């Protein structure tokens, strides 16, 4: 039979009668996450995963617009020239413009059914081509041009290109429907020339943006600011 607590205390002393107590460790206070607004300059680190994902999406949009432009001009309009117009070149393929006589020959070669199909081309592929090209260029410029003023100057080029492209399609449909109207032919020809001039400016803008990106990367590399590099003292 075991001893009682009083018996244990009498035999072994006062400390034997009480169970040993384990000292409690104070709990650490919960750490509050630091807000973005409380961070000092240089503490806000970029997230490379988000940047790379945005770059991939912009690259896809850019090259989709470029591929659609090539498809429209190298396949669709070439098919219009060869199959619908019997070898007469589609007016929008003439970068230097066209005369009223050429437009009359083109309209005559199309015929009634050919004019309907030609207008349908403008309502489908001819509609999506400038929109996707403009969108791809807008995203490419916006991602890679940090200067706001320069960005808006560059953005004006793809916006104008899309507007002039669509206006040119409408003017060509009207001119082909009335080939004996010299003013309609001249207006359509002027819009086609403007379209090709703006295309050259699109290429120039893309080159300028690409050069600026490469230059910034080289500067960051020389200063050790690229991800994975050790900053130089």
The yes-or-no verdict on residue 168 having pLDDT over 50 is: yes
| pLDDT tens per residue across span 121-147 | 999 999 999 999 999 999 999 999 998
pLDDT: which is higher, 159 or 30: 159
Dihedral over Cα of 68, 69, 74, 80: its sign: positive
Tell me the Cα Rg of the chain.
Answer: 36
CA distance 201 to 207: 10
pTM for the full predicted model = 0.75
Residue 209 has a pLDDT of 94
- Residue 33: is its pLDDT beyond 60? no
Phi–psi pair at 166, nearest 5 degrees: -70, -40
- Cα–Cα dist 118/116, whole Å: 5
What distance in Å separates the CA atoms of residue 22 and residue 14, rounded to the nearest whole number? 18
3-state secondary structure of 42: coil
Q: Ramachandran region of residue 148, left (φ > 0), alpha (ψ -120 to 50) or beta? A: alpha
């Amino acid at each position: 039979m075991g001893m009682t607590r009083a018996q244990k205390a009498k035999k072994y002393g006062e400390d034997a009668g009480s169970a040993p107590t384990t000292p409690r460790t104070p709990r650490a206070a919960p750490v509050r996450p630091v807000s973005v607004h409380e961070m000092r300059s240089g503490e806000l680190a970029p997230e490379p995963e988000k940047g790379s994902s945005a770059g991939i999406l912009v690259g896809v949009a850019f090259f989709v617009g470029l591929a659609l432009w090539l498809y429209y001009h190298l396949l669709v309009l070439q098919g219009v020239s060869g199959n619908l117009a019997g070898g007469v070149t589609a007016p929008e393929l003439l970068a230097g413009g066209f005369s009223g006589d050429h437009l009359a020959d083109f309209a005559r070669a199309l015929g009634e059914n050919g004019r309907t199909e030609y207008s349908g081309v403008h309502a489908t592929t001819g509609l999506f081509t400038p929109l996707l090209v403009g969108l791809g260029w807008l995203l490419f410029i916006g991602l890679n041009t940090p200067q706001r003023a320069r960005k808006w100057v560059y953005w004006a080029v793809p916006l104008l290109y899309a507007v002039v492209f669509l206006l040119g399609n409408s003017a060509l449909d009207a001119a082909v429907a009335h080939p004996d109207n010299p003013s309609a032919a001249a207006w359509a020809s002027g819009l086609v020339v403007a379209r090709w001039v703006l295309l050259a400016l699109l290429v120039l803008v893309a080159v300028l943006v690409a050069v600026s990106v490469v230059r910034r990367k080289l500067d960051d590399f020389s200063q050790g600011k690229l991800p994975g590099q050790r900053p130089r003292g």
